[in-house]
A and B are shown apart, each in its own frame.
Chain A
Amino acid sequence: MLRTKFSTNNDSFLRRIHCDGPLLFGLLILMAVGLVTIYSAGGQDIDLIQRQITRLGLALAVMLAIAQIPSLVYSKLSLYFYLVGVLMLVAVLAFGVVGKGAQRWLDLGFFRFQPSEILKLAVPMMIAWYISRFNLPPKISHILGGFILVGIPTLLIAKQPDLGTALLIASSGIFGLFLAGMSWRFIIGVAVCASAFTPIMWTFLMKDYQKQRVLTFLNPESDPLGSGYHIIQSQIAIGSGGLNGKGWLQGTQSQLEFLPERHTDFIFAVFSEEFGFWGIVGLLVIYAFIVARGMLIAVNAQDAYSKILAGSITLTFFVYVFVNMGMVSGILPVVGVPLPLISYGGTSMVTLLAGFGILMSISTQKRLLSR
């Protein structure tokens, strides 16, 4: 990497620090919206805002640091990263710390973290590295290999149990395979198998609380004060926001604490209540902008590994958004997925921005490697 001094006529400050301007712009707007919403949802608690700002600063630093490293390095590290991650998942199941009824945490003495966060990046990296070694479109056998690589960590995480994360990790891998050119015939075949598999999963694999969540999702009014409470209150918050919203700090569902998980998983309901339908349209425009920018970076990436990795990170980001909005508004069952860059929260934010760091690296460092 001695060619870092290489410069073109396009050497703005952002370029020099390997930062993609439009992407950063979109992310910063989202973060600002997030802070404003957290301030309202958290009962105007300034400490909460300070902690979130600290976290955002840290995550942005991680993003920038990662952006400095060329994607070739990630390509080479993919396998090891993946193996370490999977080993940690095994370790979690063996000696992990139980929290909130699930075994997700690994206690390293000085701090606790969730190895599943590592896999959020390790799986798309591994799939991108693995599949890009073949001629694309990949053969069925290669695809099956890819599915095994995705399946191992997914099952380990589902076993914790953390269905939401397992789902996101599985989709990040599958997106990689899809972008690599997985045949349509195979896609249809998998879809048919998956639907056949559903009853088996229901009977043998899902825990009672997970089944309850699904049942509640199908009919929240069946238990309005119990398991249906979250979703009913959330829908009331969203619906009562109307077209223009009740105004910032004026959302009665959130301010009067009828809404559960206000500043974390259900922050979208707070946003919808206070800013209304037009606010949501605005928010979706920002998300769509980031996704479009990510896909543009992927299409313009110089090698297959970078394309697939950038594409699957971007699409997974959108899945976060879709799953969160879907569950809060009642079209998807409640799984613990935060609204990216808006929800108050720790590790997932760092992981998310680390992913965008990789995107920036791909976006800004390709010229150094190609021409």
Chain B
Amino acid sequence: MAASAAEPRGSAEPTGRNHGLWIFAIWLPLAVIVDVLLYFVYGPHMPPGTMSDSAASQQFDIKVMSVLAAPVMVFVLVYAIYSFVVWRHREGDDEDGPAIYGHARIQATWITVTAVIVLFLAGFGSYELAWPGFAGAGAGQGPSPVWKPTDGTPVQVQVIGNQWRFTYRYPQFGGFETTALYIPVGVPVQFNVTSLDVIHDFWAYQLGVKADANPGVNNVAYTTAKHVGTFTVRCDELCGLWHGAMTNQGQVVSVADFQAWAQQTETQLASVTAMLPPYATAYDPTVVPQMSKAMVKGGLLGGNGYYYPPNDPSQP
């Protein structure tokens, strides 16, 4: 026993073959090849694309994560195949394998490498969120966003979740509200996301924008579109029977086309805008005095500014 414990520890067998070195020699070029293919060949096609700065930053993040993760997967595969080939059971070989002992150098290397990767990802992720060009990377930042775009005044678009359709309000154009979503290319857009009933989630897939729509709360997300085109909006929070059908198409258009559309729509919807409550960053669906007046007038439930009577189920 004492003699065994005194033997050099490691992956080397008595034959002198250094398996660790062999595995490393096989793994390294494979990992490099896979990483190059992932980053430069498949990378440009990774979701969500590059329609906006936030989408592009997310695609870059996914590429970086893939480049970090792929070598691990390659290592597992190389190790497994190497084991099957080199350490497979052979006819007549009934001896136990060599005992495995702790190996301080391998443990130190393992801890160091994983620590470096985790710390790198923490710094990388923080940088990606904070950099003004990404301004939160398309995520909802709540009512008081920490990261804001610095290149110009954003176009304000209020996203309102209704069971089961999003509507969009444009406060810089008289506060008109429509089911169509248009944004200009090359200009920062500030989405003010809220809901009038239950929790929804505004997910503009190709823009890389995703923000929860909570009733009574303004959730701000930024993006700047880089290309004109069409993007898909989906609700990404289970919100009832027709949640799966709560989708629509948005349009990124030129600044001139956006101005023309917004001004024309503002004029066309002027009579509808007059019916709407004053623009606010959020609306309380349970306290709507104007609505309640109509209900009281009609002899219906509610009253005193409340949409529902107290004995109804609790409101969100």
- A and B: interacting chains: no
> A residues touching B (Cβ–Cβ < 8 Å)?
none
> B residues touching A (Cβ–Cβ < 8 Å)?
none
